[in-house]
Amino acid sequence: EAGVTQFPSHSVIEKGQTVTLRCDPISGHDNLYWYRRVMGKEIKFLLHFVKESKQDESGMPNNRFLAERTGGTYSTLKVQPAELEDSGVYFCASSQLRGTGLAEQYFGPGTRLTVT
């Protein structure tokens, strides 16, 4: 079974540009989460989808970040315009909505975003 995949693995953009990150969760996982780790800090929650709906977006830093999950499958996270402080590693995770796998949240390899 394929794990959580993310694309691209690494992105280098200039300040003011736009970047879109993609996450494909494990098949059948209705819960999808975005997190990010800024250099030297903890991994911080950004938002949580249940299927196509935003369950919790309390961690989104500002309105330059837009997450979508049309159709309840893959998700995109767009940063527009990017700022220097957006640099970090963006992780996506997924889990089952219910059942014995409820507690198991699986992470993708992350996208390393560098804003210059």
Partner 1 sequence: GEDVEQSLFLSVREGDSSVINCTYTDSSSTYLYWYKQEPGAGLQLLTYIFSNMDMKQDQRLTVLLNKKDKHLSLRIADTQTGDSAIYFCAVTSLNNGGSQGNLIFGKGTKLSVKP
Residues in contact with partner 1 by CB under 8 A are 4, 31, 33, 35, 41-45, 48, 50, 55-56, 59, 91, 93, 95, 97-98, 102-110
Contacts of 40 (CB under 8 A, 6+ apart): none
Cβ distance to partner 1 smaller for residue 92 or 115: 92
The partner residues of 107 in beta bridges, in order of sequence, read 93
Cβ distance to partner 1 smaller for residue 78 or 112: 112
92: exposed, middle or buried (Cβ count in 10 Å: 0-12, 13-18, 19+): buried
Least Å distance between CB 49 and partner 1?
11
Rounded to whole angstroms, how far apart are CA atoms 18 and 55?
25
Least Å distance between CB 37 and partner 1?
8
